[in-house]
């Protein structure tokens, strides 16, 4: 059975930060609480990964690794990005790593962000997805 949400992770081989993001997500998604989420790794150095990255249309290529949360559409079975309910350029938990238009994260390499996507940031984004997908 397909999951309700799919997290598209954009990364590349040999990238320590990409490996860390994947490991953090794998650990989190192993918990029962997050059983409605699955991960799809998109290697941006492959044609398929690059097409997925370009199709996302919201991530800065200089801020990889990144992740975009999508939701399965019952009618079509396709996964589409979850729009951000409250777009803001800076978030208390996620800092400047938070995507603006859609729910997701991209690496902030400034002195403030230190190039880290923490487990707390990932959890905050997943919780945001659930809240934003509730009926208004």
Q: Which two tokens stand for residue 67?
A: 């992740």
Residue 136 has pLDDT above 70, yes or no: no
Q: How many CB atoms lie within 10 A of CB 103?
A: 26
3-state secondary structure of 8: strand
Q: What pLDDT is recorded for position 94?
A: 79
What are the sequence ranges of the domains in the chain? 5-132
Residue 50 has pLDDT above 60, yes or no: yes
**pLDDT-based confidence at residue 25 (cuts at 50, 70, 90):** very high
* pTM score above 0.75: yes
Region 104-129: what's the mean pLDDT? 91
Region 31-36: what's the mean pLDDT? 94
User: How many whole angstroms from its chain centre is CA 76?
Assistant: 22
Q: How many CB atoms lie within 10 A of CB 35?
A: 11
Q: Taking all residues of the chain, what is their mean pLDDT, rounded to a whole number? A: 90
Give residues with Cβ within 8 angstroms of 101, minimum separation 6.
58, 83, 84, 87
Residue 135 has pLDDT above 60, yes or no: no
3-state secondary structure of 132: helix
Q: State residue 6 phi and psi, 5-degree precision.
A: -125, 130
Helices 119-132 and 16-29 cross at an angle (nearest 10°) of: 60
Helix ranges restricted to H, the chain: 16-29, 47-56, 119-132
Torsion angle in degrees (nearest 10) through CA of 114, 59, 64, 94: 30
**pLDDT-based confidence at residue 112 (cuts at 50, 70, 90):** confident
Q: Look up the CATH architecture of domain 5-132.
A: 3-Layer(aba) Sandwich (3.40)
Q: What is the pLDDT of residues 54-110, one digit of tens each?
A: 999 889 999 999 999 999 998 999 999 998 877 665 677 877 888 888 999 999 998
Q: Report d(CA 87, CA 33) in Å as an integer.
A: 26
66 against 133, higher pLDDT? 66
Region 20-41: what's the mean pLDDT? 96
């Amino acid at each position: 059975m397909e999951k309700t949400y799919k997290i598209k992770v954009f990364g590349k081989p040999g990238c320590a930060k990409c490996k860390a993001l994947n490991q953090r997500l794998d650990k989190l998604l192993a918990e029962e609480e997050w059983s409605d989420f699955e991960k799809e790794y998109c290697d941006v150095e492959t044609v398929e990964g690059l097409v997925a990255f370009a199709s996302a249309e919201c991530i800065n290529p200089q801020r990889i690794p990144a992740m975009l949360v999508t939701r399965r559409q019952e009618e079509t079975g396709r996964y589409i990005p979850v729009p951000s309910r409250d777009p803001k350029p800076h978030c208390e938990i996620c800092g400047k790593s938070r995507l603006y238009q859609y729910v997701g994260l991209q690496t902030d390499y400034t002195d403030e962000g230190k190039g880290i996507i923490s487990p707390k940031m990932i959890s905050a984004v997943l919780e945001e997805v659930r809240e934003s997908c509730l009926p208004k």
